[in-house]
Chains A and B, each alone.
Chain A
Amino acid sequence: METIITDLRIALARDVDTAFPELVRARQHSVYSGVLRIVRNPHDAADITQDTFIRAYRALSGYDPQRIRELKLEGWLWTIAVNLCRNRGRSRAPVPSEIPDRADPRTGTEDEALERAGRLVWEDRLAALPAPQRTAVVLRHVVGLSYDEIASATSRPVGTTKTDVHRGIARLRKMLEAEAA
């Protein structure tokens, strides 16, 4: 994954217009997944994902090649996405997740239905976390960012980021235990 990103950075530094579609193809799923778990609403998640890439394109078009080569692409992309999630949160009351994610469990196979039900339970648990912990946990464990990348994406110190992730996980574990009891 790291090699792909390095190659992309070189390609973007050479010519943004040619390499940018590859960046979108390589990163749209992880950006969408993370954003969806942060904002919950699929419609908002799609909007924010699109907006993230469109803003990234505009910024990259104005950067000189040296700056693009030195860019920490992953953390940088998430800085844009996290900001957009935050702005959306401010302008809108939280919305419970809805169709198509909460689709009719009777469609599809039984396994799919179970899987979907399992995902919903986890979404609800994540939603119960305070926003900074939820964002940190999602970026660390759904998206797979490093603590450094999370720190730069959320503009918080690395130490705080680690604390957020650990406290978030601990809280999730407590929820599991409480549910089991």
Chain B
Amino acid sequence: MTEIENALRELSTDAPDHIYANVMAGTGLWDEYAVFSGPTEPVYVAWNPRGVTACVPVSVVGDDGTFEERHPRPARLAEAVPGSVATPLGRALETGRLGRLSVDIGALGEFQQKVLRKCAEIPPGEIRPYGWIASEIGNPGAVRAVGTALGRNPIPILIPCHRVVRTDGRIGNYAYGPQMKWDLLESEGLDPTAIEVQARRGIRYLGSDTTHIYCFPTCSHARRITDHHRVGFRTADDAEQSGYRACLVCRPAA
């Protein structure tokens, strides 16, 4: 009896090391990460079962060790990228839209979440001023706070804070330096130099003298206006007083 029981007790063994790490990744208590090709350079992307938690250009962090150190949660290099992440992530990086990709920003403050979700609505190849996000989320006075929230965007590029520019229309600053913001906008077909020139001339809105609708200059509807029907405005009030109404798509009235 005891001989059998002892022999059976001897059959207990240690679990292989990878079990603990796999459980931590599988529950989402740890993030996993890998390098993917981004719009202008490779990017580190981290995720857990709730969604993507970080996106950082490789040139900013350098190597895996530094990425893990700076990542706010425990993370391990993924052995394989699950299709549920790889497919929507690949598409998001390629098209510049989140699409079906989930992002895990639930731990951030409510205000910052609102700002980031609104920012993610800006289509690739278009830009909006900080003030637009502030008024769209029902906080027209919080322009600076919007700037701060975007400056701490944990998932830049995928949540396109590079598409948010100064209220005077100039490109402005970026967490990884203004040059990267220019490069990203250029990769989406915009001409940052032309945008700056237009901003310096004080043109913040464009209207069509046939439809009498005014837009942000990069709105897809504004870009369809032919040269000799295009009218520039300095303020929304100027446009309204000239009998123009705000575009329903880019909602420039703010």
Of A2-10, A49-57, A66-74, A77-85, the stretch lying at the interface with chain B is A49-57
A25 touches B27 (CB 8 A): no
Pick the most buried of A20, A34, A53, A138: most chain B CB atoms within 10 A of its CB.
A53
- A118–B1 Cα distance when bound, in Å, is 17
- A176–B7 Cα distance when bound, in Å, is 12
- State which of A29, A53, A137, A173 has its C-beta within 8 Å of the C-beta of B12: A29
Residue of A whose beta carbon sits closest to that of B24: A21
- Say which size band chain B's interface belongs to: 20 to 34
Interface flag for B248 (CB, 8 Å): no
Q: Which of A109-163 contact B (CB under 8 A)?
A: 118-119, 122-123, 126, 137-138, 141-144
Of B13-21, B96-104, B220-228, B235-243, the stretch lying at the interface with chain A is B13-21
Interface flag for B9 (CB, 8 Å): yes
A20-B27, A20-B29, A172-B4 known; A33 vs B20 contact (CB < 8 Å): no
- Inter-chain contacts of A17 with B (CB < 8 A): 29
State the main secondary structure of chain B at its contact with A.
helix
- A36–B11 Cα distance when bound, in Å, is 9
A50 touches B9 (CB 8 A): no
Interface flag for A28 (CB, 8 Å): yes
- A28–B4 Cα distance when bound, in Å, is 24
- A46–B27 Cα distance when bound, in Å, is 16
A53 touches B23 (CB 8 A): yes
- A20–B12 Cα distance when bound, in Å, is 22
- State which of B7, B11, B16, B20 has its C-beta within 8 Å of the C-beta of A24: B20
The distance from the CB of B11 to the nearest CB of chain A, in whole angstroms, is 5
A53 touches B1 (CB 8 A): no
A122 touches B11 (CB 8 A): yes
B15 touches A37 (CB 8 A): no
- State which of A31, A37, A58 has its C-beta within 8 Å of the C-beta of B11: A37
Give a binary string over A167-178; 1 marks a CB under 8 Å from any B CB, 0 the rest. Answer: 001001100100
A28 touches B8 (CB 8 A): no
- A138–B12 Cα distance when bound, in Å, is 10
A54-B26, A169-B1 known; A122 vs B8 contact (CB < 8 Å): yes
Interface flag for B110 (CB, 8 Å): no
B15 touches A32 (CB 8 A): yes
Interface flag for B22 (CB, 8 Å): yes
A142 touches B18 (CB 8 A): no
A17-B29, A119-B10, A141-B5 known; A25 vs B19 contact (CB < 8 Å): no
- A31–B18 Cα distance when bound, in Å, is 14
A123 touches B11 (CB 8 A): yes
A30 touches B12 (CB 8 A): yes
Give a binary string over A32-49; 1 marks a CB under 8 Å from any B CB, 0 the rest. Answer: 111011000010001001
- Inter-chain contacts of B23 with A (CB < 8 A): 24, 28, 50, 53-54, 57
- State which of B8, B14, B27 has its C-beta within 8 Å of the C-beta of A54: B27
- Inter-chain contacts of A137 with B (CB < 8 A): 8
Pick the most buried of A20, A50, A144, A169: most chain B CB atoms within 10 A of its CB.
A50
- State which of A28, A37, A57, A172 has its C-beta within 8 Å of the C-beta of B19: A28
- A46–B13 Cα distance when bound, in Å, is 12
29 A-B contacts (beta carbon < 8 Å): A20-B27, A21-B29, A25-B20, A29-B13, A29-B14, A31-B15, A32-B13, A33-B12, A33-B13, A34-B12, A42-B16, A46-B15, A46-B18, A46-B19, A50-B19, A50-B22, A50-B23, A53-B27, A54-B23, A54-B26, A58-B27, A118-B10, A119-B10, A122-B7, A126-B8, A138-B8, A142-B12, A144-B9, A169-B1
What 10 additional pairs, Cβ within 8 angstroms, besides A123-B11, A141-B5?
A25-B20, A28-B20, A29-B12, A29-B15, A33-B11, A36-B13, A53-B27, A119-B10, A141-B4, A173-B4
